[in-house]
Structure 1
């Protein structure tokens, strides 16, 4: 007596598998998915190739400027004529360069520069006093800060040292007033808003720039220090944009992969898979136990019955793997069970 003959399940043709994979990826052609893909790619490209390089460039510029300020401010003082000769204009590259200058202060020509703040962010005045050099030219000297609350027009400005003095100061380019506001005549002095060659009226042959006195220099008031150098947040911003761009691509890839390997049920093939509460109410209440949602045990019994009816009578059943979609695995809440029959 011969044993039962096992009959293998038919192997799908390669063309069928390819068509099945194509049908799974057909959702990518829908308008919603096309918009999502284009938006994710454009946003990621903007983060990775525009915003992140922009922040990297700003960080590089800030680092180069900080290095220049440190190297310039810490250099040894040199005579003014070596770095800013007569007729030359001070530039940002010369800012904070220490120099030594010899001349005589013009006490009767000094003015106050208003709308300034000191290092403590307190309202202050900067006292600008001309210095007559040995060659006859004039250099504007910023002697430093005074409290604007104390020198409010009723107290004369402190006079500079008399006679020939040698000062140590830092070069600065002119700081014009962007609004070009006129000067204000106070009781004891003239108050201007910017520092330019014409800030002190009646002067000629003025050097192209001014200087700020350093500590312990003759005539200094509240010395203006070199600004603190900070790298700023540009580098962290750049890495944040890189993170955002990478996350957009990863999220898009994850959702596409999930939709391909685990698609939702097609409502045309499984009308009960996506039934809304309104459709459930229209269908009427379910009162019998036969209408209840099948449990895992009932599903296993149905699966066993299907195997018994396979095309292999008399032999052991052949288990056929069945794939469930996300909606088939998720139990649905039946509102009809809330009511008694």
Structure 2
């Protein structure tokens, strides 16, 4: 359970996309059965439009996070307690593929966030945003929630970012895990605390970085709003198709070139932004053509393509009805 009562499930990876879809569907069904006796059901948006954020989990990690985010305003506690995302994890491919795949997954971010945005408000605020969830994430703590660098050596850039990021949690006995003084992880390595950091401390520090795309030995895509029941299938399959071959990745970069970096425009306007709308149409066409690179059945591929086009038309002003 997440701080505000959100329930997270994490399905083990699968080599087969069709197998993954079956396993995730079974996990969701099982979760729903667990919730039903308590009169609970899964939500259908990426942000809670009704309740103000309220932390249910009284554990040291989240207490320290809340304290660290508070100086930036209310978005940190909102992100922690009132938002939920669909996370899609992709492999890096071969080492020589890393820079292009890293660039493509970031360039796709604003486009897919706009295409699948479904959180037009959180706790009665931001009601005119396409993705109030992404807005809250973006404003939580700029050092740890803004997009990572897209460059020729993303691994080195990420390592530097992690070292330069402030430490907001130091695990120790007792309920208070707030750091005794402001410091970065590099400061800690240099002797800033009464003990040196361990590899486990580094792993924990990295778990407290929340960019829209996070490297974890694989690519963890975090920029999609949680969809309604069953709505998770089209974005998952679309992303798998868009990263199915090096040629499709190249085409994805070309299709999203003009939209790269438009994170706030995507969160604010969705596909009402004409640049994002054009890129989304190109991305959907490219992804649908690449569905044959996956192992989903022809019948399921047709259904997913139809749903993607329907979503595109519904979200784009003047789209087909």
Do Structure 1 and Structure 2 share a fold, with TM-score over 0.5? no
The TM-score, its normalising length taken from structure 2, stands at: 0.21
The TM-score, its normalising length taken from structure 1, stands at: 0.20
Greater relative contact order (Cα < 8 A, sep 6+): 2
- Return the index of the structure with the highest Cα Rg: 1
